[in-house]
Amino acid sequence: MGEETFTMSLHISAKSGEIAPVVLLAGDPLRAKFIADNFLQDPQLVSSTRNIYFFTGHYNNTRVTVGASGMGCPSIGIYSYELYKEYGVECIMRIGTSGAYLPEINVYDLINAERAYSESTYARSAFGFTEDHFYHQGNAYTVINETAKELNIPVLTGPIHSGDPFYRAEPGLPEIATTNDLLAAEMEAFALFANAKYFRKTAACLLTVSDNIVTHTMISPEEREKSLHVMMKLALEAAVRI
């Protein structure tokens, strides 16, 4: 018998065929595990390289993969690049947390990112893209909005900020946020959208507001990991409609 052949990327050890066409990417590996344990039927751990978990199972009889991206544009840039290129993934939906830039936005509010602005050099270095923002790619953004309406789940839409630094020396909001009327800050969507544009794939970013940068309200680290059920359910319900 010949040796088994399979596709394996540098940072994801799943075999060829073990990653579903639609992938939900959380930043935190433990959030990915929580979703797999609590929402998927018969989840199988298909990769754990560097303790970045990927699980493939079924939700409403549709095969879905849930994994982790780590934090920041370089990290999600690696994982989404390999998912699109090496595993033939068609759609990646980031499911993460964000810090609101507007006082009227509350913790636990959901944001479906229309576009992501950033000062990051990721897209220029990787692809020669010179834009300071990228839109969501494909139909996932619209599907999320339509699914939220069906489920009567309120969702905010608009532009967000994918910042490189989490901690900033200068007080107040960064200039890119005030100039472009951005709703909230996170750290990954810009690179995900750039990769999807390059590969002509689908990408969306659904966020739960975990803190408000203006009012200083926030949820705990434990709640970030496990108490984001509304976002998780909406993402999965949208995933089976894509």
The count of residues in the chain is 242
Find the catalytic residue in 37, 109, 164, 211: 211
Instruction: Determine whether 37 is an active site residue.
Output: no
**Could you tell me which of 192, 23, 10 has the C-alpha nearest to residue 86?**
10
CB 194 within 8 A of CB 123: yes
Residues classed as catalytic:
211
